[in-house]
Structure 1
Amino acid sequence: MKYISLLGATGSIGRQTLDVIRQHPTEFRLVSMSFGRNVKEGLKAIEEFQPSYVAVQNKEVFDQIRPVVPSNITLNYGPEALIEAAAFEKATILVNAVIGSVGLLPTLQAIKEKKDIAIANKETLVTAGHIVTAAAKENNVNLIPVDSEHSAIFQALQGERHKNIERLIVTASGGSFRDKTRDELKDVTVKQALNHPNWSMGAKITIDSATMMNKGLEVIEAHWLFDLPYDKIDVLLHKESIIHSMVEFHDGSVMAQLGTPDMRVPIQYALTYPDRLPLNTERLNLAKLGQLHFKEADLKRFRCLHFAYESGKIGGTMPTVLNAANEVAVQAFLTDAISFLTIEDLIEEALSKHNVIHNPSLDDIIQVDAETRKYVQSLIS
């Protein structure tokens, strides 16, 4: 039995994690969870799984649900509650499925408490990869990727030696606007951007997929997860999202992990690693598919991907700025405050103004994150 803390229980990854737990009640038990403002879904999860600890985003939600949450369940709210949920004493593994850099401090606390980490919150590694990976190593904690691309690489590397890796090939669907030129992106709407062709994801990740920032963040995450330089991490457009990523070895062999686009597969593997369990999911039928398509990722077309590579190579606090600026810009687009292409402009402006701190402390990262958000918001206002 594995005892699970789940941050972001009502989000896309969170709901699919609950489905994995639901399918294997003798293998997994949810002991701690958090959610934001989706009270309806949050209460359904509490009723079904009866966790011992629940953290919610704010006092408003807390006051709303306290009368209906059983008294034997500890309920709290705010950033400290999120940290407590992540490092809950009964938990053996944390599934971090929150969106944004808010996931950083809870992850670090869970690592300190010797919890294995199933990481779906890529911003944690983007903003503070050197701190998180060092902490995991120091505490002998497994850092297991949940993103389909990193899970694919992780699976392909089982039984392999790191010294034999030639490069990682991270695949990308290309998002909602993969077939549009830059001129055609000028007047695209939020509704169009949220219409992802392959995956069902939350709003922020879907917009990141449309700008290809999501893939840029994944490149930085791959750098930290697999300890490889950026010139050994490539991005390949693959519109069907069947090959989730590949590893090329220096003898020319290429190992790929394939499957239908179902996030429950990498979620479950992260929970069962190094074992596997059956999963009720659509099986891959290559004969029915007939063919798969691939195309090089054009860094001039996908500027956010270019920003991510450059930020990662510079290192220090530059990826922190990249992530913070993107989060603010995406939220502004989702509320119709800016146009789609302005997301890129705001990120570029924030990056160009930043004086990099090399080998930053956690306090440095938190400060730079806050300053960047304030600066980008001022540009929008």
Structure 2
Amino acid sequence: MKSISLLGSTGSIGVNVLEVIRHFPDRFRISALAAGENIKLLAEQVLEFQPELLSIGSEENAGKLQKLLPAEYADRIVVGDEGNQLVAAHDTADMTVSAIVGAAGLLPTLAAIEAGKDIGLANKETLVMGGKIVMEAVRRKNVAMLPVDSEHSAIFQALEAGRKKDLQKIILTASGGPFRGKGEKELEVVTLKEALNHPNWEMGRKISIDSATLMNKGLEVIEARWLFDIEAENIEVVVHPQSIIHSLVEFKDGSQIAQLGIPDMRIPIAYALSYPERLELELNSLKLSQCANLEFIEPDHTSFPALKLAFTALEIGGVSPAVLNAANEVAVEAFLQSRISFPEITETVARTMDIVQEGSEDSLEDILRADFLARREAARFIQ
């Protein structure tokens, strides 16, 4: 029986993690849960999975949550960033699944690693912001870092077909989002509703916008650089609208190994939870006879500059990836509030990267300071 601490239990990934655990009660149990503001759903999850510890975003929400739970949970509720770190490092957990959205996932994930927990990583921002520090901690504590994102899970699985030292290139696939093929002028007038309407995946609001700008793929490039210890020049991105091939690796002999499957997050989640075993999921099989027309297209860097910004951040190094991420979070939130247009998301990120540059990737203090400064500058540009 594997005990799981789950960060971000009420988000789209968290809900799917619990769906997998629900179907394998003899294999997994929930040790601790953390969520942000969805009090009602968290209360339902607590009553079903009976965690030993739970965290909620604020003291106010903690009070509201307590009213929905039996009295014995009063001393099991912790709050905010500190609460997330306590959940992440909870004593009885064997694995921590980091599914919090955004920069808020960095410190809890580090806390889990320092506590010796294996990590199921769905929070790409952890490696975008602090990739060097995080992976050094993973090696020092000798824990497993298992990817939950479909693309990184695909790479992880494909790499098992060969030796890491023979790896030549990683090829990340991108759906292209809802605006694939649109030009710059067309993107100036797209609506929030259109941006949230992803053609293949059901995702949260923030990641849906990131997919529409291709920033999500840029963040995945940075994540892959650290997760698989590969330089940026050996990472390629292709747009694959069908989302059937989730990513590929190329070995030095020219062989390319791909992982294929239906677009369902329960597949990579289950593999991370059960690795090296595979669980028998009751999902539809991929029918190759219905996949005759698979497309692979070069990304449009003119209409979708976010991907190039991510490669630029990697090239600059230091705290630039953290700045990219922080500015993007602020800009996406502004777009979700209809305060800026769709193209202004990446314009805000680029302007912020020009301003905030000082700091070392070896210093957690520098990374967190850059995150703070980037948010302030991005908010100033938007204002």
Range class of TM-score, shorter chain: over 0.9
Report the counterpart of residue 34 of structure 2 in structure 1: 34
Give the partner amino acid of 1:123: E
Cα deviation code 1:261-290 (max 9, x no counterpart) = 000000010001111110111210110232
Instruction: Please state if 1:64 is matched with 2:64.
Output: yes
Q: Which runs of 5+ in 2 are unaligned?
A: none
Cα deviation code 1:281-315 (max 9, x no counterpart) = 12101102322111111322320000000101211
Give the partner amino acid of 1:326: N
User: C-alpha root-mean-square deviation of aligned residues, in Å?
Assistant: 1.0
Residues of 2 paired with 1:243 and 1:261: CA distance? 9
- The alignment's TM-score, normalised by the length of structure 1, stands at 0.98
Give the conservation status (yes or no) of the 8 Å contact 1:55–1:77.
yes
Residues of 1 paired with 2:32 and 2:70: CA distance? 14
Bigger mean CA offset, 258-267 vs 351-360: 351-360
Give the conservation status (yes or no) of the 8 Å contact 1:129–1:221.
yes
Provide the aligned length of Structure 1 versus Structure 2.
381
Give the conservation status (yes or no) of the 8 Å contact 1:215–1:305.
yes
Q: Quote the offset at 1:162 in angstroms.
A: 1.5
Give the SS at the match of 2:82.
helix
Give the partner amino acid of 2:65: I
Q: Quote the offset at 1:357 in angstroms.
A: 2.2
Give the SS at the match of 1:339.
coil
Report the counterpart of residue 24 of structure 2 in structure 1: 24
Give the conservation status (yes or no) of the 8 Å contact 1:165–1:247.
yes
Report the counterpart of residue 81 of structure 1 in structure 2: 83
Residues of 2 paired with 1:347 and 1:226: CA distance? 26
Cα deviation code 1:120-161 (max 9, x no counterpart) = 000010000000000000000101110000000000111521
Give the conservation status (yes or no) of the 8 Å contact 2:200–2:243.
yes
Q: Which runs of 5+ in 1 are unaligned?
A: none
Q: Quote the offset at 1:65 in angstroms.
A: 1.4
Report the counterpart of residue 109 of structure 2 in structure 1: 107
Report the counterpart of residue 151 of structure 1 in structure 2: 153
Give the SS at the match of 2:249.
strand
Give the conservation status (yes or no) of the 8 Å contact 1:32–1:53.
yes
Q: 2:169 aligns with which of 161, 164, 167?
A: 167
Give the conservation status (yes or no) of the 8 Å contact 2:4–2:29.
yes
Report the counterpart of residue 361 of structure 1 in structure 2: 363
Q: 1:277 aligns with which of 264, 276, 279?
A: 279
Give the conservation status (yes or no) of the 8 Å contact 2:132–2:362.
no
Q: 2:264 aligns with which of 262, 265, 278?
A: 262
Residues of 2 paired with 1:120 and 1:128: CA distance? 15
Residues of 1 paired with 2:366 and 2:358: CA distance? 11
Give the SS at the match of 1:301.
coil
Give the partner amino acid of 2:57: Q
Instruction: Please state if 1:10 is matched with 2:10.
Output: yes
Give the partner amino acid of 2:201: W
Residues of 2 paired with 1:280 and 1:187: CA distance? 41
Bigger mean CA offset, 290-299 vs 180-189: 290-299
Give the partner amino acid of 1:290: A
Give the partner amino acid of 2:212: A
Residues of 1 paired with 2:149 and 2:282: CA distance? 19
Instruction: Please state if 1:139 is matched with 2:141.
Output: yes
Give the SS at the match of 1:296.
coil
Report the counterpart of residue 374 of structure 2 in structure 1: 372
Instruction: Please state if 1:305 is matched with 2:307.
Output: yes
1:204-223 correspondence runs (5 A): 204-223=206-225
Instruction: Among all aligned residue pairs of Structure 1 and Structure 2, give the percentage whose two residues are the same amino acid.
Output: 49
Report the counterpart of residue 126 of structure 2 in structure 1: 124
Q: Quote the offset at 1:37 in angstroms.
A: 1.1
Give the partner amino acid of 2:371: D
Q: Quote the offset at 1:358 in angstroms.
A: 3.4
Cα deviation code 1:188-245 (max 9, x no counterpart) = 1111100000000000000000000000000000000001111100001000000000
Give the conservation status (yes or no) of the 8 Å contact 1:190–1:334.
yes
Instruction: Please state if 1:55 is matched with 2:55.
Output: yes
Give the partner amino acid of 1:361: S
Report the counterpart of residue 190 of structure 2 in structure 1: 188
Cα deviation code 1:85-110 (max 9, x no counterpart) = 11111000011001011011101110
Give the SS at the match of 1:72.
helix
Give the conservation status (yes or no) of the 8 Å contact 2:103–2:126.
yes
Report the counterpart of residue 44 of structure 1 in structure 2: 44
Give the partner amino acid of 1:110: A
Q: 1:296 aligns with which of 292, 295, 298?
A: 298
Residues of 2 paired with 1:279 and 1:72: CA distance? 35
Query: Structure 1 residue runs of 4+, over 4 Å off?
Result: none
Q: Quote the offset at 1:340 in angstroms.
A: 0.6
Q: Quote the offset at 1:113 in angstroms.
A: 0.6
- The alignment's TM-score, normalised by the length of structure 2, stands at 0.98
Give the SS at the match of 2:109.
helix
